[in-house]
Amino acid sequence: MESNHAEASRTAAEALDSLTMDRERLAGRLRVPWALMAAIGALAAWWVASAATARPGAAYEPPATGWIALLGVLVVAHLVQRETGARLGVMGARAAWATAGILVTCLALFSVSLGLVSLELAWAVALTSAVAFAVTTWLAGVAYRAAVEHVRRA
């Protein structure tokens, strides 16, 4: 009886080790899909650039492009999941902070862009859009790598 229990424990431990090694192999094979990260950056830049067509002031109405950009980000997130095969639903704290950094940066750059438009410097929105693209692409890569590492440790 005791040998059956020991055998079952050893078999369970071997199965658990096998699953851990599979998770390690999966996480090791995943590479940052930079084209998709750049797509997220392009959507962020497009949203920040939409400030150039806005009319800041008392009658300000936010552009509808924000909702379209959000939908685009969700589509790209789905494509990332489909390309990698890994479900990254629970990202971990580092990835969540990187995602929050994307949101804060884009909101700040959009606000700066509105200020530039109000000062009749709409041409300068191209600069804030370029910064949005670069920062968002980089932080999306950071979030992706952190999420993969979280899956590896889970």
One digit per residue, the tens of pLDDT, for the chain of length 154 reads: 556 666 766 676 666 656 666 556 665 566 778 999 999 999 999 999 999 988 877 777 777 788 899 899 989 988 888 877 655 566 778 888 999 999 999 999 999 999 999 999 999 999 999 999 999 999 999 988 888 887 777 6
Q: What is the pLDDT of residue 151?
A: 72
The residue type at 145: R
Total of domains in the chain: 2
**Same-domain status, 94 and 120:** yes
**Same-domain status, 37 and 75:** yes
Residues 6 or more apart whose Cβ sits within 8 Å of residue 23? 151, 152, 154
Domain of residue 15, residue span: 1-30
Residues 59, 107: Cα–Cα separation, whole Å:
20
Q: Which helix (H) or strand (E) holds 28?
A: helix 2-29
Q: What is the pLDDT of residue 114?
A: 92
**Same-domain status, 79 and 12:** no
Closest CA to 47 of 61, 71, 66, 73: 66
